[in-house]
Amino acid sequence: MDTIHSCTYELLRRQGMTTIFGNPGSNELPFLKDFPEDFTYILGLHEGVVVGIADGYAQATGSPAFVNLHSAAGTGNAMGALANAWNSHTPLVITAGQQTREMIGVEALLTNREATLLPKPLVKWSYEPASAKEVPHAVSRAIHMSKLGAPGPVYLSIPYSDWDQPADPQSHWLYDRAVANMGLPNEAAFSQLVECLANAKSPALILGPDVDATNANHQAVALAEKLKAPVWAAPSAPRCPFPTDHACFQGLLPAGIASIAERLEGHDVVLVIGAPVFRYHQYDPGHYLPDGARLFQITCDKEEAARAPMGNALVGDVKIALDRLVERVPDSERAMPEPRHVPPPLSDTVGPLPPEAVFDIINDVAPEDAIYLNESTSTTPMLWERLQMSSPGSYYFAAAGGLGFAMAAAVGVQMAKPERQVIAMIGDGSANYSISSLWTAAQYNIPVIFIILNNETYGALRWFSNVLGVSRVPGIDIPNIDFCGLAKGYGVQAFKATSSQEFRDHLNASLNMKSPVLIEVHTIPPAN
């Protein structure tokens, strides 16, 4: 007779979810017993790292990843990473072990009190099955829920006493279910958008992560070329939706109200595709749009559509919408936009390097289809200025700004894309949030190149202190961290670069290795 345990594993097997990311506690051991040989378990040493690795893996594959956490404490440790996954529209099925049903009521140690409330509002659905027989159905529902509409994380709390219970004989109906979005946009609203674009004197495109997530980058290029329109990446972009070396590309939009309006001056129709309107950050008051501009948004996320402060929104499948726009929008007779200015590479130097020099060397040495993960937040504008990213799926960033993303997610992305080289560029402050990711990379021989830009300070905070006009703030400087020593302790080869040539040599050597490598390069901190 099938048990809840065997039924759930068969369901995961049929859905192609044979990789489990986790950090187990006692409540999770009954689920993991007799672990099937055709499954793979990826251990992270901290739950935030576990979710970060799964986040990268799910984003890179485009399919849900299965995560197993330890009750309330493990879920709590993972909440920062969960915020990033929520804002990235990452499909994750997160399970957490609950106490045995017999002792939930007395709140025995390791009981997850009000388990369904704990991960909210960072999940699409949160549930604890009412009985053991309901567990396979709840897992099936969670898998499909994670993919439908705007993808995102879901959460299940499962009592550990359920796994040995007999399964409902009809659970087999769950195994091969397929649930898919249709996602066709409203025809009347879509026709209005096509007409506005066709009649626009100076349209502008702003592209977001869902363009890249749906592999619609080529359609975005085709639309830009038909419209002869400038293209910006949406503010704080967690992915790169458009080739940065294309003539239409104008760079990364700033994350301020007035600053965005300034960039869009002179454009009468603004089309935002696959991004919120807008992901603002620093306080920069002003008009949302230039006078006379009309804004349209295409998004898979009804919440993003509803909360936008201006414009008309169409909710549907981003790739389908782009396909239809390319078919229906007429070719413009306008001249192509003026290409953006790309600064020339810096000369080689010694001592602490300008961050620009680091990106110049990476751009020169890395493979054309390299995948970059960025968590050197103070240098992000420089990265977007200098790195050429022309292939889909080439860039990942923490969508909620939660530190600890890049080092962990790089491991997951490299697992998902073994044919491409993953390079993670991480600030010294950010690296400490998920440093144990190095252990996972070493143990499973996942050949990520980790580049630590060490300026001995929280560079983004130093920049913000100037923006906010605050001085003599404690807790900004973080000197005396030996990242090479830490890496070697986790089993990762490590090198220190003190000049442009040393960094170039170490990066070239790392590209020929088939194991994880860390390069620590000292960089110039932001000016006070």
**Distance, CA of 257 to CA of 263 (rounded, Å):** 10
Question: Which sequence positions are flagged as catalytic?
Answer: 25-26, 28, 47, 70, 281, 401
The encoded tokens of residue 13 equal 């097997």
| 518 CB-near residues (< 8 Å, 6+ apart) | 438, 449, 450, 451, 452, 483, 484, 487, 492, 493, 494, 495
**Distance, CA of 504 to CA of 77 (rounded, Å):** 37
**Distance, CA of 90 to CA of 108 (rounded, Å):** 33
Residue 56: closest CA among 474, 483, 416, 498 = 416
Tokens 């072990």 — which residue? 97
- Classify the phi-psi angles of 309: left when phi > 0, otherwise alpha if psi is within -120 to 50, otherwise beta: alpha
**Distance, CA of 119 to CA of 66 (rounded, Å):** 16
Sign of the CA dihedral with 191 first, then 193, 195, and 198 last: negative
Alpha helices by DSSP H, listed for 264-379, are 302-307, 318-328, 355-365
Output the 3-class SS for 194-253.
Answer: HHHHHHCCCEEEEECHHHHHCCCHHHHHHHHHHHCCCEEECCCCCECCCCCCCCCEEEEC
pTM higher than the cut 0.75: yes
Task: End-to-end CA distance of the chain: give it in Å, rounded.
Answer: 68
Domains of the chain are 4-174 (3.40.50.970), 187-328 (3.40.50.1220), 355-522 (3.40.50.970)
**In sequence order, what are the beta bridge partners of 232?**
206, 251
Tokens 């040539």 — which residue? 501
φ and ψ of 306, to 5 deg: -70, -35
What distance lies between CA 77 and its chain's CA centroid?
18
What distance lies between CA 133 and its chain's CA centroid?
35
In angstroms, the Cα distances linking 454 to 31, 378, 397, 429, 436 are: 41, 12, 18, 8, 18
Q: How many CB atoms lie within 10 A of CB 20?
A: 24
Helices 318-328 + 217-227 axis angle, to 10: 30
Per-residue pLDDT 10s for the chain (528 aa) are: 799 999 999 999 999 999 999 999 999 999 999 999 999 999 999 999 999 999 999 999 999 999 999 999 999 999 999 999 999 999 999 999 988 888 888 887 888 889 999 999 999 999 999 999 999 999 999 999 999 999 999 999 999 999 999 999 999 999 999 888 877 778 899 999 999 999 999 999 999 999 999 999 999 999 999 999 999 999 999 999 999 999 999 999 999 999 999 999 999 999 999 999 999 988 889 999 999 999 999 999 999 999 999 999 999 999 999 999 999 999 999 999 988 988 998 888 888 999 999 999 999 999 999 999 999 988 999 999 999 999 999 999 999 988 999 999 999 999 999 999 999 999 999 999 999 999 999 999 999 999 999 987 766 666 666 666 777 777 677 778 999 999 999 999 999 999 999 999 999 999 999 999 999 999 998 766
Q: Is 43 helix (H, G, I), strand (E, B) or coil?
A: strand
Do 241 and 396 touch, CB atoms closer than 8 A?
A: no
Residue 208: closest CA among 234, 242, 246, 232 = 234
Tokens 């990066």 — which residue? 507
Rg (CA), the chain: 24
In angstroms, the Cα distances linking 523 to 155, 242, 528 are: 41, 29, 15
Residue 378 carries which DSSP code?
A: G
